[in-house]
Structure formats: C-alpha cells, structure tokens
Amino acid sequence: MEFKFYFVYCAGRWLYFLTLSNLQRMKILPKILSFFLSFFLSEQGDLGDDNLPYPDNIYQFSPSYRGNDFDEYYSTLIGNGHTTILPSFTRTVPYLYDDLDTNTVDCTMGLPIYPPVENDPNGETPESYLAHADYMFHYAARYGNSLLDPAILEARVAEGQRLSKLQRVQFMEDRNEPDLENFCEGTDTHTFSPKQYAAFSSANYDGHGSNMMYEKGAIKYPVGIKNADPSMQVVLGGLSDFDYTYLGELRTEWE
C-alpha cells in the first residue's frame, strides 16, 4: 500500500491556544502561519460523554456536544484571511472509553483502540482503530471537498447538521508528537510505537486500503479520510524531535 503523508516538525509549543473570543488577534499573524492556525483543534472537544458508544454514536459539529462550533471557527479563520487550514487531532474522543479517565487516554494503555480486536491488545493492527478512523471520515466529509451520501449523513450526523463539502479544511494532521517519550506520567515509552502509529495512520488514512468498514443495518461505508474526501491532504503527526530512528522504523512498518 502506498501512502502520501506530509511531514511536519512540531512547531506548536510556542503558539497560544486560540478560541473564538480571540480570533480577531490572528489578523496580525503572518500569512505563513495560516497553515498552522488550526493546529490546536483536538477531537476530544467534539464529542462529550452524553454521546452513545460506537457504532451508535451520532456526530455533532456545529455545535459539538461540548458547545464548540467548528463551522463558525473555520468561517472566522477564513474571514480573517487564513485560507489554508490544518486541524491537528491530538487527543481522543471520550466516547470511545467506558473505564478510562479522559485525561489519560494518550497513555500507553489508553490508545484509541475501539472496538477491541481479538489477539491485538496493544493496537498493532489497523482494525483496532476502526472507531477513530470513522471519526476522521466524518470530519473530512464535513469540512473537505466531496459530497457525502445523504443516507450516511442521516444515519450518522445529528439532525440539523447534516452537511458535507463545506470546503473549510485542506489538511488533517493525524495525531501530534506520536514519538514523544514520557508523555504520560509513569511511562517511559513512545505514546505510539512505530508499529502502533503505522497501524493507526493506515486506518485513518483510507481505512487500511478501504478494507475497514462501518456497518450497521443498511448503512455500510469504508472509513478513513481519503474515503470521505480523496483530495484531503493527510499530514504525519508532527514529531517532537528529528528522530530518524523512529521515522525509519515507521517507514519499515508502512512498507
């Protein structure tokens, strides 16, 4: 399988978290930063605990379950002249978990593995990330450049929000700093091992070659970003350092 990922070195540590209340300040930022203006968006804010577990969950974006209005957020960015937008999906939607504290979902035992796959407790196969890849599918469908089947929208998106092809986003960063060590208290390993990230990114990119399907009743479709919008550019999670060993192992796993 051939992947085309953009590589980004993580430059977000020195930037401030941005909310709708201070977007006007962004008018003074150089245009070169427009690529990173949505770097801080995290999918953890999109779905709250009132949502149902996958595959019964229903997506909300404008507003989200936690009151964030991403349609308005992106429209404000574009209105301020920032037309190249890259959301960074840095954490995990809480509805994937029943027993884990959502503050620790990035830890080794809290990778976004759902539903669990037999004989893969550590999330080293793409199928372990089915629910996460479904989320990425719907985000790309809404904010990308392709229309989604109305039947899928009706089944999976909240009433009054069933839109696609809003043409707000051109890039999606698949996680952030997967190579970072000591990210969670008490751990001394990468947030994602190269093998785990290869599986995770394959699921999110195109549902591992369109082999991973959402299925419920009459609704069936392949998950992953490229299956929602083939024109969406997928960005490798920005590394915390120039770790050539990690990149080499990741490339080996992809191949």
pLDDT of residue 93: 63
3-class SS of residue 229: coil
Taking the C-alpha atoms of residue 251 and residue 189, their distance in angstroms, rounded to an integer, is 19
Query: What is the model's pTM?
Result: 0.82
**pLDDT attached to residue 39:** 41
Q: Supply the pLDDT for residue 85.
A: 83
Q: What is the domain partition of the chain in residue ranges? A: 5-254
Low-confidence ranges of the chain (pLDDT < 50): 1-47, 98-109, 182, 185-186
Task: Give the span between the Cα atoms of 36 and 251, in whole angstroms.
Answer: 25
Residues 6+ apart with CB under 8 A from 45: 64, 66, 68
Task: Tell whether omega for the bond before 115 is within 30 degrees of 0, i.e. cis.
Answer: yes
Half-sphere exposure of residue 6, counting CA atoms within 13 Å on the CB side? Answer: 16
Q: What is the pLDDT of residue 181?
A: 64
